Amino acid sequence: MGKGGSSDCCKGPGYASPLDAMRKGPRERLAYIPAVQPREDKPDYLMTVDLNPESKTYSQVIHRLPMPHKGDELHHSGWNACSSCHSDGNRSRSLLILPSVGSGRLYAVDTATDPKVPRIAKTAEPEDIQKATGLAYMHSSHCLGSGDIMVSAMGSPSGEGTGNFILFDQDLKVKGTWTEATTEYGYDFWYQPRHNVMVSSQWGKPAEFTKGFNPAEVPNAYGDTLTFWDWQARTITQQIKLAHGFVGAALSSNVIHFTKNASEKWETSVVVRQPWTKVEGWVLPEVPPLITDILISLDDHFLYFSNWLRGDLVQYDISDPANPKLASRIWLGGVVRAGSSIKVTGGLPDDTPELPVLPKVKGHELLGGPQMIQLSLDGKRLYVTNSLFSSWDKQFYPDMVKQGSYLLQIDVDNSDILAGDCSSDIWL
């Protein structure tokens, strides 16, 4: 999401600190949303959405940038530079980085020349990436303080599972892998040099999850491990099984808190347990909430996460990180809803004794479930999309695939406690 540039004229991109971002960050004016085409004969595209409430085109898609290839399956976007480069006045946040899970391609989109009409500036082709690294299935992108761009890879070109990280320069030239070590599976990652740590998670074997979700393959083709890395040495220091910061464990749908103990080892504890909903008339006898995205406010006061299958978006007060307290919940879709053909026999959240009645937004029924989320810097607006992964969308929400996805703005009222999230920035 476009959130503005440097906090003063003499520094690089982003902000000097989370507090600086909260106090000085301007209101967002535009959002850039990857749109994945369910039809194989059409390319994915990047939407530009007007978020300026004073604009005549507020809340509308004002531009679509089609990709030059089909079958990319665009996923977690990032920036070429962020607050990790704030001390370097020669850096600028000018390129939106778009990894492709399906093709293994990487795009850099110029959002600086004309922010409302972005254009593709550079491309790293899968053949070049695979030749240099042997890796494919690009997932998450983060900018580094060195000026490099790091992207997680989830497997080999043949679809076998292997997790590693690829370094690119600002021209998207492959520099090699970040480490010689690998994990069984790859997925998301985040780093924090202050603690000399990077943490990475796991999804599964691409040859399996790209076909859709098969519960029978969970024991053999899906990951359940959190990996801790020495950021400077680029080596694995610890791995923790999550029994399939905070981590949202997708399938179990528990929230896990991890922290350093007195021996400087990372340890975990489940701090939020979510029941599966007992149902009749669905593909399984129980619906897992299925956490698919999670974020923490800049002031570490609130935790937000989305339950893509159950359909609710949740806010927890984490003032006491070991004992989160439910603050709010809103239902935005999902398979658990009033009027559905699926019969619910038990397992709803304690604060939702009856099946939720979903609101219509501008006359539209909310299909799919809340998935990707991002909070404005001032913490007053939470943006939500509902598409997860094309084969999974088709499997669980075919009506959404036919009728299209949404971007919602959720107003957040936390009285005097307002702080956005830092999913676009890392502070050194």
Q: Give the integer Cα–Cα distance in Å for 338 and 355.
A: 5
Token digits of residue 224: 């359940």
Bridge pairing between strands 161-168 and 174-177: antiparallel
Partners of 50 in the beta sheet? Answer: 30
Instruction: Report the greatest alpha carbon distance in the chain.
Output: 61
**How many whole angstroms separate alpha carbon 91 and alpha carbon 6?**
10
Q: How far apart are CA 375 and CA 379, in angstroms?
A: 6
d(CA 85, CA 143) in angstroms, rounded, equals 8
Q: Which residue has the tokens 């999401």?
A: 1
Using a cut of 0.95, tell me whether the model's pTM lies above it: no
pLDDT in tens, the chain (428 residues): 544 333 344 478 888 888 888 888 899 999 999 999 987 889 999 999 999 999 999 999 999 999 999 999 998 999 999 888 888 888 899 999 999 999 999 999 999 999 999 999 999 999 999 999 999 999 999 999 999 999 999 999 999 999 999 999 999 999 999 999 999 999 999 999 988 999 999 999 999 999 999 989 988 999 989 999 999 999 999 998 875 455 666 677 889 898 888 888 888 899 999 999 999 999 899 999 999 999 998 888 999 999 999 999 999 999 999 999 999 999 999 999 998 999 999 999 999 999 999 888 988 899 999 999 999 988 889 999 999 999 999 999 999 999 999 999 999 986 555 555 556 666 66
Tokens for 267, please give them: 């340890």
